[in-house]
C-alpha cells in the first residue's frame, strides 16, 4: 500500500487539509473527502468537462489531476460561486436563458464560463464557443449556454439585461 500524504489547499476560500494516497485523483478528493459534489464524474478521461474546477486561475479537469498536485492551490468549485445567499451572475443567467436541462454538465460549464469571463470580459460568440469546447452537454444544443455567457457579460458590464428565452421574460 502506498504511503499517505497530507495535502493542503484553499477550497472556495477555506483552508482545507486532506490525507490521501499519492494516486488519488482530485475529483475523488473533492467529492468524497470534501463533500463538494458539484464537480461531476462523467467520462474520467478528460473529454466531457463535467469535473471542471478552477485551480490557480486555470480550468482543470479534476479527473486528470492528482490531489497531490493541488498542494498550496487555490481551488474554486461551483459551490463557491454563490455569495451571501445570492446566485453568481452566471448562475442567474443560466436560469434566465434556460441553459440547462438535466444539469449534469452545468457545474463544469459554470466554472469554465467563469474563467472565460475573467480572461475575456466581452467575448465574441466565436470566443465563447472556443472556450467552452471542452465541456460537453447532451441536452441543450449549446445555443442557450452561449446566450447565458453573453447575458452575464452584459450584466457584469452594468448593462440592462433581458432574457431571450420566451418563457422567462424577466428584465433585470
When the beta carbons of 67 and 121 are compared against ligand FES, the nearer one is: 67
Tell me how far, at minimum, the Cβ of 149 lies from ligand FES, in Å. Answer: 14
Q: Give the span between the Cα atoms of 140 and 74, in whole angstroms.
A: 31
Cell 451571501 belongs to 84
Tell me how far, at minimum, the Cβ of 137 lies from ligand FES, in Å. Answer: 3
- What 3-state class would DSSP assign to 79? helix
C-alpha distance from residue 152 to each of 11, 94, 147, 166 (Å)? 24, 9, 9, 18
When the beta carbons of 30 and 105 are compared against ligand FES, the nearer one is: 105
If phi > 0 it is left, if psi is from -120 to 50 it is alpha, else beta; for residue 46 that is: left
Q: Enumerate helices (H) and strands (E) in the chain, giving the number of each.
A: 5, 5
Tell me how far, at minimum, the Cβ of 63 lies from ligand FES, in Å. Answer: 3
Tell me how far, at minimum, the Cβ of 136 lies from ligand FES, in Å. Answer: 7
When the beta carbons of 43 and 120 are compared against ligand FES, the nearer one is: 43
DSSP string, 37-88: --S--S-SSSSS-TTEEEETTEEEEGGGSBGGGGTT-EEE-GGGT-BTTB--
When the beta carbons of 134 and 156 are compared against ligand FES, the nearer one is: 134
Interaction site with ligand FES (CB under 6 A): 41-44, 46-51, 61, 63, 100-106, 137-140
When the beta carbons of 27 and 89 are compared against ligand FES, the nearer one is: 27
Tell me how far, at minimum, the Cβ of 99 lies from ligand FES, in Å. Answer: 8
Amino acid at each position: 500500500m502506498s504511503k499517505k500524504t497530507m495535502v493542503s489547499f484553499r477550497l472556495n476560500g477555506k483552508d482545507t487539509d486532506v490525507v490521501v494516497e499519492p494516486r488519488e485523483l482530485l475529483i475523488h478528493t473533492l467529492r468524497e473527502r470534501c463533500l463538494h459534489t458539484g464537480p461531476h464524474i462523467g467520462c474520467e478521461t478528460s473529454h466531457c468537462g463535467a469535473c471542471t474546477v478552477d485551480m490557480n486561475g486555470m480550468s482543470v479537469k479534476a479527473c486528470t489531476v492528482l490531489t497531490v498536485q493541488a498542494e498550496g492551490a487555490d481551488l474554486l468549485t461551483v459551490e463557491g460561486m454563490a455569495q451571501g445567499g445570492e446566485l453568481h451572475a452566471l448562475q442567474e443567467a443560466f436560469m434566465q436563458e434556460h441553459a440547462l436541462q438535466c444539469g449534469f454538465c452545468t457545474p463544469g460549464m459554470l466554472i469554465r464560463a467563469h474563467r472565460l469571463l475573467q480572461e475575456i470580459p466581452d467575448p465574441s460568440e466565436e470566443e465563447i464557443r472556443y472556450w467552452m469546447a471542452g465541456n460537453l452537454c447532451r441536452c441543450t444544443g449549446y445555443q442557450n449556454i452561449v446566450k447565458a455567457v453573453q447575458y452575464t457579460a452584459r450584466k457584469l458590464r452594468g448593462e440592462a439585461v433581458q432574457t431571450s428565452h420566451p418563457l422567462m421574460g424577466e428584465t433585470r
